[in-house]
Structure 1
């Protein structure tokens, strides 16, 4: 298995604010804090990730 390609959120800033990165794995989507990559990541199913994004959009 090759290493996943992490992508920073388009809403992240260069001012050192809250940054999230996502990557596709085998059947799951990884979500991690770009400032603390060694802390690990959450592994969400595509359905869980879609629900998370919907919820966050409602809060914005």
Structure 2
């Protein structure tokens, strides 16, 4: 069953030019991830620990400015 109200948040690194954007939301079953350009396509739900590991990996591999 889909949640009735979910607060999706777009990455602060996403630009406003219509590029690749990811949205995340805290769900009962874990963390939801979806494409902000096509939210009707659904979302992927991952356990909180898996999402934390993903963030750690992304931050570790992030190029410095």
Unaligned residue ranges in structure 2 (runs of 5+): none
- Structure 1 residue runs of 4 or more that deviate by more than 4 Å after TM superposition: none
Q: What's the counterpart of residue 14 of structure 2?
A: 12
CA root-mean-square deviation: 1.3
User: Which of 29, 32, 39 is the aligned partner of 1:30?
Assistant: 32
Q: TM-score, normalised by structure 2?
A: 0.81
Separation of aligned partners in 2, 1:27 and 1:39: 18
Q: What's the counterpart of residue 39 of structure 1?
A: 41
Q: How many residues align?
A: 60
Unaligned residue ranges in structure 1 (runs of 5+): none
Q: TM-score, normalised by structure 1?
A: 0.87
Deviations 1:18-42 (A, max 9, x none): 1110111114010111011111111
Do the aligned residues in 1 keep the contact of 2:29 with 2:45 (CA within 8 Å)? no
